[in-house]
Amino acid sequence: MLKDIEKLLRQDKMPHIWCPGCGNGIVMKAMLEAINSTGIDTKKTVVVSGIGCSSRATGYMNFDTLHTTHGRALAFATGVKLAKPELNVFVVTGDGDGSAIGGNHLIHAARRNIDINVVMFNNNIYGMTGGQYSPLTPHGKFATTAPYGNFDRAFNICDLVKGAGATFIGRGTVFHTKVLTEMIKGAIENKGFSFVEAVSICPISYGRRNKMGTAPQMMEWLKENSVPVKAASKLPPEKVAGKILVGELYKEEAPEFTQKYDELIARFQKGAE
């Protein structure tokens, strides 16, 4: 509830900079709800972001925060986590920040299974710079750099991080706020690399160009075009094709990077005695 998370907002920085109807505020709220309800120590919580509208979230969240350079949030976050493994480390990234310029950091952080919780704000576009297509812009959709429709196919970013080695993967949307919060809670509870795709809306740089209507209409679109992953397995394929699957997508146990690193240090310290 809003009254429980207000303390986690930098009130003096509000109202935030995001456009009317932008989904970023809803994703940030889900993060705050998840952090609040898991009861993790907010004094030992660090949020790191890259560059983009979504990455501005670190300016409003009342933790130790780092607003870094485009695509590099995971590199900074890896440094923070390795220096102080007891910290709860989050990364806020956009679909452009995290899957284009920062895509290599993403797959390798997943491969290491380092205990970082990534929340990717996916609005399917480079919002901040006015609407260039990203690797998550669906095929055929319009962007300033795709005036005849996007030629490329989009990544399924959750499948990509699964292939790379992530140990918790979930997806929610800014319409499915409860699922989104649950997925971020799942990420916090997983001791390893966790990835949550937060499907968001950008009515200004994406919605307008793709004639998706007002912010509430884009919300309706998310509602109509999403299927809970558990229900999807029981539905005929034609009812699932092209839909956004929401819920927990993957979970596994695997050795965590900083823990392995500490074990290595302990082994050599013992040898030196």
- According to CB under 5 A, which one of 123, 173, 190, 194 is a site residue for Mg ion? 123
Residue 219's alpha-carbon distances to 15, 25, 80, 175, 207, in angstroms, are 22, 14, 36, 6, 11
Cβ proximity to ligand TPP: between 130 and 216 the closer is 130
Nearer to ligand TPP, 107 or 229 (CB): 107
Nearest approach, Cβ of residue 98 and ligand TPP (Å): 7
Selection from ligand SF4, ligand TPP, another protein, none that 204 binds (CB < 5 to 8 A by kind) is ligand SF4
Site for ligand SF4 in 12-31 (CB under 6 A): 18-19, 22, 24
Q: Binding segment for ligand SF4 among 38-46, 123-131, 159-167, 220-228 (CB under 6 A)? A: 123-131
Instruction: Determine if 23 is a binding residue for another protein (CB under 8 A).
Output: yes
Q: What is the Cα–Cα distance from 27 to 241, expressed in whole angstroms?
A: 25
Q: Is 43 exposed, middle or buried (0-12, 13-18, 19+ CB in 10 A)?
A: exposed
Q: Considering the rule CB under 8 A, would residue 175 count as an interface residue with another protein?
A: yes
Q: With helix as H, strand as E and coil as C, how does 128-185 read?
A: CCCCECCCCCCCCCCECCECCCCCCCCCCHHHHHHHHCCCEEEEEECCCHHHHHHHHH
User: Contact, 118 vs 99, CB < 8 A?
Assistant: no
Query: Using CA atoms, how far apart are residues 139 and 189, in angstroms rounded to an integer?
Result: 35
Q: Residue from 87, 116, 128, 160 that binds ligand SF4 (CB under 6 A)?
A: 128
Confirm if 203 and 19 have CB atoms less than 8 A apart. yes
Nearer to Mg ion, 94 or 170 (CB): 94
Calpha distance 120→52 (Å, rounded)? 11
Query: Quick check: 71 binds Mg ion (CB under 5 A)?
Result: no
The answer to whether residue 7 forms part of the interface with another protein (CB under 8 A) is no
Specify the stretch interacting with another protein by CB under 8 A; choose among 103-111, 115-123, 190-198, 211-219: 211-219
Residue 103 binding target from another protein, ligand TPP, Mg ion, none, CB below 5 to 8 Å by type: none
Nearest to 120 by CA among 100, 82, 92, 140: 92
129 binds, among ligand SF4, Mg ion, ligand TPP, none (CB under 5 to 8 A by kind): ligand TPP
Q: If you count them, how many residues does the chain have?
A: 273
Name the phi and psi angles at 94, rounded to 5: -100, 175
- β-strand partners of 197: 120, 171
Q: Which residues bind ligand TPP (CB under 6 A)?
A: 51-54, 70, 94-97, 121, 123, 125-129, 134
58 lines the binding site for Mg ion (CB under 5 A): no
Task: Choose the contact partner of 19 out of ligand TPP, Mg ion, ligand SF4, none; CB within 5 to 8 A by kind.
Answer: ligand SF4
For ligand TPP, the closer of residues 95 and 115 by Cβ is 95
Site string for another protein, 121-160 (x = CB under 8 A): ----------------------------------------
**Tokens 């429709």 identify what position?**
149
